[in-house]
């Protein structure tokens, strides 16, 4: 099991750079919302709306599209490495959360939103 996890972590590291650009680098609307702590990266590998934040319909639609693209990439990584989609997503989430810049919010594994 440990070997599988290590292999999956390595695969995620390689696949991280191969994620569809729209699944990581998003539109100005999404980037602005991240920079204003309206949305943020979550420990599950997906973008979420920060508790109490006001996210309009256009932003929610973009988040849904990005998260759908990510799920497809995570499923591919999982299939190739014999792990679950959740494991592939969580390993990628770690990298995405580490890239959050000052002023952005991330949601940790306990579900708490933290402003960087």
Tokens of 114: 């933290």
Q: What is the DSSP letter of 112?
A: -
pLDDT per residue as tens, the chain (116 positions)? 555 555 555 555 555 555 544 455 579 999 999 999 999 999 999 999 999 999 999 999 999 999 999 999 999 999 999 999 999 999 999 999 999 999 999 999 999 999 99
**Where does residue 91 rank: exposed (0-12), middle (13-18), buried (19+ CB within 10 A)?**
buried
């Amino acid at each position: 099991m440990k070997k599988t996890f290590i292999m999956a972590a390595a695969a995620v590291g390689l696949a991280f750079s191969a994620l569809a650009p729209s699944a990581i680098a998003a539109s100005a609307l999404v980037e602005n919302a991240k920079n204003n702590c309206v949305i943020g990266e979550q420990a599950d590998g997906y973008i979420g709306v920060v508790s109490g934040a006001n996210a309009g319909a256009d932003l929610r639609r973009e988040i849904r599209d990005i998260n759908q693209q990510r799920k497809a990439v995570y499923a591919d990584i999982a299939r190739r490495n014999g792990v679950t989609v959740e494991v592939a997503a969580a390993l990628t989430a770690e990298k995405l959360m580490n890239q959050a810049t000052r002023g952005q919010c991330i949601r940790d594994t306990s579900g708490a939103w933290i402003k960087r």
